[in-house]
């Protein structure tokens, strides 16, 4: 997650490290609920033994957990919170993560992928992982309608 967004959404929860969700893959879903396209989520991938997703870990306070649950739309059924094993440099840890409760499919916006790639880069993701995010297929979403001309 983008560090600035996380600071706004969970101001009392510092970053505690990074790691990998091994056996999982990054995918996109919920095009009908996204603003510009599909939203990022993860899913287990039993077919690809090399599947993995870079993640950033935060030490989330109970107060911030409530804020994040509301932000992620948990009470609306948009996301569900699950526990998964994250492999870190210090060994495996169990972490909570939000996954979309929606069918996989659709494309994210190019802007959204750029934000994800920038956040991964700031967190220390390997350069090839960041590059793969930047080169992923995306929707080109224009700036919206311009001013109405008389």
| Binding-site positions | 112
Residue numbers annotated as active site: 72
How remote is the C-alpha of 28 from its chain's centroid? 9
The region that residue 51 occupies, defined by phi over 0 for left and psi between -120 and 50 for alpha, beta otherwise, is beta
Separation of alpha carbons 150 and 27, rounded Å:
44
Binding site for substrate, by residue number, is 112
CA dihedral in degrees (112, 26, 66, 10; nearest 10)? Answer: -50
């Amino acid at each position: 997650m983008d560090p600035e967004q996380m600071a706004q959404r969970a101001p009392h929860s510092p970053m505690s490290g990074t790691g990998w969700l091994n056996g999982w893959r990054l995918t996109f879903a919920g095009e009908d609920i996204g603003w510009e396209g599909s939203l990022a989520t993860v899913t287990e991938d039993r077919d690809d033994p090399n599947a993995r997703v870079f993640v950033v870990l935060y030490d989330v306070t109970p107060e911030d957990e409530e804020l994040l649950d509301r932000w992620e739309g948990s009470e609306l059924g948009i996301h569900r919170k699950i526990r998964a094993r994250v492999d870190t440099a210090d060994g495996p840890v169990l972490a909570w993560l939000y996954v979309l409760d929606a069918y996989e499919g659709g494309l994210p916006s190019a802007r959204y992928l750029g934000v994800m790639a920038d956040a991964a880069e700031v967190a220390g993701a390997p350069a090839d992982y960041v590059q793969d995010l930047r080169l992923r297929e995306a929707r080109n979403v224009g700036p919206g309608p311009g001013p109405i001309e008389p």
